[in-house]
Each structure stands twice: as C-alpha cells, then as structure tokens.
C-alpha cells in the first residue's frame, strides 16, 4: 500500500501540470499511467509535432513541452507508477484506494482523473493491415524516418493534416486521401494544406495495398474510378479507439467516453475529480491550455478535503520558496 494526499490517473499534460500544482499546494502525489512513459498521447503519437495553443509559447515542439512539464512536476517529488492500469476504485469515508492491474494499491485523500482518452488503440486501415510495420503505420513519432519517401496519408482530421504538412518538406512526395470532401481538421491547418505541395484526393478511399517485403503501391477509388499510386509509406490517421472499461465499472457516469464535472471539476463520486480532455460540461473546449486551467481548479478545490487546514484559494507561486 502506497499512501499519498492525491493520486492522479493519467500522466499526460494535464496530469503532469496537476502534479506540479498539487506539490505547490503542499500535497504528496502518486501518478498512475498505463503507458510506460510520461506525456500521454503527445509523447507516443506526435512528439515532433508543433503545438500552438499553449500560453507563452508561439510554437513549441510537443516533446519539448512534455519535457518541461516533467521538469516542473519534479518539484512535487511525485511517485510515478508507469505501465500500471488503474482498474479498481474503493471509496473510504476519508479518501479512496486505487488498485492497478499489477497489484499496486494507493490510498489517498482524493483522486484526480486526467486520463484523456484512456488506453488507446488505432482504428485500422480496412485494406492492407498485413503491412503494419512494413510500410504501414498509425503514428509518426520520428518524421525524419520518412525522409525521401513517397508517403500516403489517410484521414481528414487534425492528425492527418498535421502529419501531411510535417512530412511535406522531408518526403519525396506526400499524398493525402480522405473519404469525404470536407476536412475535420482546424481551418487554419486545412488552409495551409491547400497551399502546400501535398496532393489532395477527396473524396477517395484506399481500396487495396500491394507489395512484397514492404508496401509498394496502393489503389485508391474516387469519382473518376481507380487510381494506382506508387507508395513507400502509408500513414493511417483514422483516429483511435478509447478503452475506458475500468472507469465504467467505477460508477462515475461516463457518457461517450467523457466524465461530467461541475465548475469545481468534481465528478458524481465523493473525493473524485477530473480534468483535461476526459471532462465534459456545457461550453467545454478541448485544448491543452484549457486542461491546464482545469487541473489547477481541481487541485485547489480538493485541497480542503485532503488538508482541512488549507484554503481553496492559493497564494502566489512567486511567494513560494
């Protein structure tokens, strides 16, 4: 049994900032994450991607932001349990006990869930699944590996458009295929895409993938029929399936993989709070910058529950030693 003032489930940006902030408020912290590294999706899926919506940073590389958050969180001297999936929640009159799939038990005065989308697995490309690892991938953690390659990006969301733009100056050619005429990505990114050298095929779908040891060519279907493309690499950016089965068993009231919270970031369960992409309330906006604010709100409002001698309203960080 590990004892702490606060247990945080999720070590993405919101969880890391909450770790720092809880330390600033004088709380001891244990952080649990199913991944074996800190940073959540940012570190696993797009560490090289530029991020634009964090206050004070006109542009910051995703992994650099994670590294700074980890350094900041270290001020709280947290205990990290990485590669641990939080599976069970027991509620006590004065706290909670969280149990992981590896047998760790954490007793804390409160629980903060910053799990984003929980465990995530890529939505598979219907055609060519046998080429995974042989030219077909679902993320681009190291874009430089695709330098000089003919790349086909599949999808119409932010990840697909971002990766197409990121790879444009590196790859020999980039083609983006999307089954609909309209994109779901941010308007500014779509505008940049249309001004780039990326070839855009909409509405088109991947019908077949062929090759030997690796991908060699792809058939795409569209209004004009079938076109065969010479391709070295396929990036299937079709989104991810969230696995929040454990949270569903906690009686926390998940709806469409989101947790309803009030203005204090409280959930329907006593001493259980949530922050970041996993939360839902009227007017919710899913941005990293919003997640940071929610993390601070959650920590400040749980402090009197864990430490009755401390107020909700914090002092100024500049006054801290």
pLDDT, tens digit, for every residue of 238-252? 887 766 777 888 988
Return the residue matching tokens 């010479």: 230
Question: Which pLDDT band, with edges at 50, 70 and 90, does 209 fall under?
Answer: very high
Give the distance from CA 5 to its chain's centroid: 25
**Residue finishing a domain among 221, 236, 251:** 236
CATH code of residue 22: 3.50.50.60
Rounded to whole angstroms, the Cα distance separating 168 from 105 reads 47
Nearest to 172 by CA among 156, 202, 148, 188: 148
Parent domain of 230? 124-236
- Residue 279 DSSP SS3: strand
- Which amino acids are annotated as binding site, given as ranges? 33, 41, 46, 86, 120, 277, 318
Structure confidence by residue, pLDDT tens digits, 142-166: 889 999 999 999 999 988 998 999 9
Binding site, annotated residues for FAD: 33, 41, 46, 86, 120, 277, 318
pLDDT range class, residue 123, cuts 50, 70, 90: confident
The span from the CA of 41 to the CA of 293, in Å, is 19
141 and 156, same domain (yes or no): yes
Sign of the C-alpha dihedral, residues 20, 11, 246, 265?
positive
Clarify whether residues 245 and 113 are in a common domain.
yes
44-48, 256-260, 266-270: the lowest-pLDDT one: 44-48
Per-residue pLDDT, 164: 95
Strand duo 105-113 + 95-100: pairing: antiparallel
Dihedral angle sign, alpha carbons of residues 31, 33, 37, 43 = negative
Least confident of 84-93, 109-118, 127-136, 260-269: 109-118
Judge whether residue 321 has pLDDT over 60. no
Q: Once rounded to an integer, what is the mean pLDDT over residues 265-290? A: 95
Domain boundary pick from 182, 209, 236: 236
Q: Are residues 171 and 61 in the same domain?
A: no
Indicate if 16 and 110 belong to the same structural domain.
yes
The predicted model gives 174-202 an average pLDDT of 94
How sure is the predictor about 1, in pLDDT bands with cuts at 50, 70 and 90?
Answer: very high
């Amino acid at each position: 049994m590990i004892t702490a003032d606060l247990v945080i489930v999720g070590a993405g940006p919101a969880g890391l900032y909450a770790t720092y902030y809880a330390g600033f408020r004088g709380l001891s912290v244990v952080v649990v994450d199913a991944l074996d590294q800190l940073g959540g999706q940012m570190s696993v899926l797009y560490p090289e991607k530029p991020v634009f919506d964090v206050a004070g940073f006109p542009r910051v590389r995703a992994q650099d932001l994670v590294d700074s958050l980890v350094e900041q969180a270290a001020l709280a001297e947290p205990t990290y349990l990485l590669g641990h999936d939080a599976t069970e929640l027991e509620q006590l009159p004065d706290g909670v006990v969280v149990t992981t799939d590896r047998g760790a038990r954490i007793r804390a005065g409160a629980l903060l869930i910053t799990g984003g989308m929980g465990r995530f697995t890529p939505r598979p490309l219907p055609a060519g699944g046998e080429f995974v690892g042989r030219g077909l991938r679902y993320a681009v953690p190291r874009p430089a590996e695709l330098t000089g390659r003919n790349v086909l990006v599949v999808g119409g969301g932010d990840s697909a458009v971002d990766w197409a733009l990121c790879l444009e100056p590196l790859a020999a050619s980039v083609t983006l295929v999307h089954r609909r005429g309209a994109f779901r990505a941010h308007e500014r990114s779509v505008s940049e895409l249309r001004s780039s050298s990326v070839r855009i095929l909409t509405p088109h779908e991947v019908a077949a993938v062929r090759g030997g040891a690796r991908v060699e060519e792809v058939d795409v279907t569209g209004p004009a029929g079938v076109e065969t493309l010479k391709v070295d690499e396929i990036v299937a950016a079709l989104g991810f399936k969230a696995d929040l089965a454990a949270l569903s068993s906690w009686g926390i009231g998940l709806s469409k993989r989101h947790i309803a919270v009030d203005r204090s970031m409280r959930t329907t369960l006593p001493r259980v709070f949530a922050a970041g992409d996993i939360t839902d309330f009227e007017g919710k906006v899913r941005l990293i910058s919003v997640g940071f604010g929610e993390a601070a709100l959650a920590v400040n409002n749980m402090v009197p529950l864990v430490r009755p001698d401390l107020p909700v309203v914090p002092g100024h960080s500049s006054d801290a030693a």
